[in-house]
Structure 1
Amino acid sequence: MKLPSHLYLDEKNIPYEALSFSPETEKGAANVAHALGFSERQAVKTLIFQVDTGERVLVMLGGDQNAVSGNLKKAIGSRNIQMAAPDVVKETTGYIIGSIPAFHWQPENFRSFLEASLLNEPILGTGGGQWGEEIMITPENLVKASRAIVVNLTDRERAVFLNSEG
């Protein structure tokens, strides 16, 4: 079965592997990682945040990671951000929370952010758009597919924007 996320990657000639897991699996990145036999860090959480300007952004973190609030606010460029409500997520992405693909649904100027440490992983898993379907993709190809801005969201001691570390 080819989902819109698969068709998008095929069209862009971006390599990936489509994997399936039981739709009975309990929701959550850790459970998907366990079901497919990879680390929780490699299971990418796709989170939608709302900015006070009305902008919505995608934030991608490893399944075992949480963003440092200050880093996230600095990356987005606003102190007034919040997680989007489920209905806003559906309106923004076309998907319900739990298997939002990291790509293919974003309008042209939509901003997506990827936690920099994920570039150190050999492979990442992201939702295919339907619970039970996962897309395995290299970090570099995930950045390419999602047009992500790579930023440090998890380490308080390091600069948010990598090129500003000197």
Structure 2
Amino acid sequence: MTDTLDSPVTRCLDELGIGYELVEIPLDPDKKPIRSLEELLQEWGREPGQVVRSLLFRTGSGGFVLLAVAGGGRADWGVLRKHLGERRLTMAQPDEVLEATGYPVGAVPPIALPEGVRVLVDEGVFGYDRMMIGSGVLGYALDLDTGGLRRALEDADVGRFVKA
């Protein structure tokens, strides 16, 4: 266990003066890291919705868009296409996720992304006092207050992008 982690995500938060706690996620070979994080939250008496999941889409025009959702939120494809002005969207493949964001699936944050990745945030992300985001490194997440997360995401488009 480490109590410090150096990644583009922690450096971004440090530069913004946003506090966070490092959370180690036990990596069970039979489970995906996000599942372990949700189980860990439940052990702490917190909601699985307090995890920000980063979903990466490839647009029909060839760009990438990251949608940050709370917990198990499912993207509303029609709303996304309309908001983006795109007729076609596809989920990025794991190799595309790494290439486009610089982070492996399971550790992708909604912040500290390359300039070409557009970020959308579903308003449900701000529904709790604290949220956990990917640290950029598998096996670790960052726990921060929602006010700090909102500040870190101030340039993102915020709206209702998940199915009700």
How far does the alpha carbon of each residue in 1:21-69 deviate from its partner, in whole angstroms, 9 at most, with x for none?
A: 2123721534312114331111111111110111101101122210122
User: Secondary structure of 1:135's match?
Assistant: strand
* Aligned partner of residue 132 in structure 2, secondary structure: strand
- Give the equivalent residue in structure 2 for 1:70: 78
- In the TM superposition, residue 155 of structure 1 has moved relative to its aligned partner by 4.6
- The residue that corresponds to 1:35 in the other structure is 40
Alignment of 1:6 onto 2:2:
no
TM-score (norm. length: structure 1): 0.83
Q: Give the conservation status (yes or no) of the 8 Å contact 1:114–1:143.
A: no
CA pair 142-74 structure 1, distance change in 2 beyond 3 A: farther
Query: In 2, distance between residues paired with 1:72 and 1:46?
Result: 14
SS of 1:70 mapped into structure 2: helix
Length-normalised TM-score, structure 2: 0.84
Match of 1:62, as an amino acid? Answer: A
Which sections of structure 1, spanning at least 5 residues, go unmatched?
Answer: 157-166
Instruction: Please tell me whether the aligned partners of residues 26 and 33 of structure 2 are also in contact (alpha carbons under 8 angstroms).
Output: no
Deviation at 1:139, TM superposition (A): 2.9
Identity of aligned residues (%): 26
Q: CA RMSD in A?
A: 1.9
Provide the secondary structure at the position in 1 that maps to 2:152: helix
Displacement of 1:140 in angstroms is 3.4
Q: Alignment partner for residue 116 of structure 1, among 123, 126, 137?
A: 123
Query: Distance between the aligned counterparts of 2:33 and 2:110, measured in 1?
Result: 16
Contact 1:30 1:43 (C-alpha < 8 Å) held by counterparts: no
What count of residue pairs does the alignment treat as equivalent?
155
